[in-house]
Amino acid sequence: MAIDWQYSLQFYFNQIISYSDPFSMLTLVSLIVSGIFLIGIIHALYQSYKKNELIETLFFLIAMFFLIIGAVSAIVLRFIYENLGLKGLGDILSILMSVSILICVTLVNLFSIRVTFPKRYKFFLGILLVLFGILVYTGFWATLEGPPHSQVVDFGLVFSPVITLIRVIGLVSFSIIPISLFFYHAKKVREEQRSHSNLSIWLGLGILCFSIAIVVATAYPRFQLIQVMYVPAAIIFYICFSMPDWFKRKIGWTD
């Protein structure tokens, strides 16, 4: 692994001036707020799964667990890079964070396929596995290789333009599938099942917010503030799965 001299200089300079970035604090608060709603989502999903034992519910439940792992890893990763200077440990944690998020995104895709077009499940599964393999391999390889393929900038791991382009294309593809499926499904069943159509629109919006946070953070890692988009995503998911009475009335849902 090549030595990242830029990170070493940045770390020691930060220790001398002890600079605190207000945007980093806002990002941290956003992740904590999202985490609170994630706990609520997991509880609602668990209760739903105990009741109906649907594989779709299990997919999203496990996805939320991996999202929490990814969020916690992101917080700890920033602390390691910025305060401990243990780049090797940070790189390992960065791989864990990336794989956790990718597993989460894959499971969200599987959930959306099973809910909207279950007959196309095997076709989409093949595409997802290929994308997953490419993203895991490129991230793992670039992280272990170090500069110039990856380096720590502003205490976040940044990939080279080529690796970043590959990962952005892969993540955009990951994101387009569930968003398109939910919006198309909403349009398709609009006349017969308006409540299901409304719910599909809200789920599509939640995945859109979630995808924006992931894709933008991958394309431009220094813009960590984009992670505030996890907050509306978590709120939308929580409302959709907990189904409070006011939300049922709004979308015309009947039990």
Q: What is the DSSP string of 173-235?
A: HHHHHHHHHHHHHHHHTTTT-HHHHHHHHHHHHHHHHHHHHHHHHHH-TT-GGGGGGHHHHHH
Distance from C-alpha of 43 to C-alpha of 254, rounded to nearest angstrom = 22
Beta bridge partners of 152: 157
pLDDT on residue 91: 81
pLDDT at 255: 62
In the chain, pLDDT over 90 holds for what percent of residues?
6
Q: Encode pLDDT of 159-214 as tens digits.
A: 888 988 888 898 888 888 888 888 888 888 878 888 888 988 999 998 898 888 88
The pLDDT assigned to 19 comes to 46
What's the one-letter identity of residue 247?
A: F
pLDDT per residue as tens digits for the range 53-66: 888 889 989 988 88
Q: pLDDT at position 18, please? A: 45
Cα 65 to chain centroid distance, Å, stands at 11
Which pLDDT score is estimated for 15? 44
pLDDT score for 11: 47
pLDDT < 50 stretches in the chain: 3, 5, 11-13, 15-19
Predicted local distance difference test score (pLDDT) of residue 190? 79
Domains for the chain: give ranges and CATH numbers: 22-240 (1.20.1070.10)
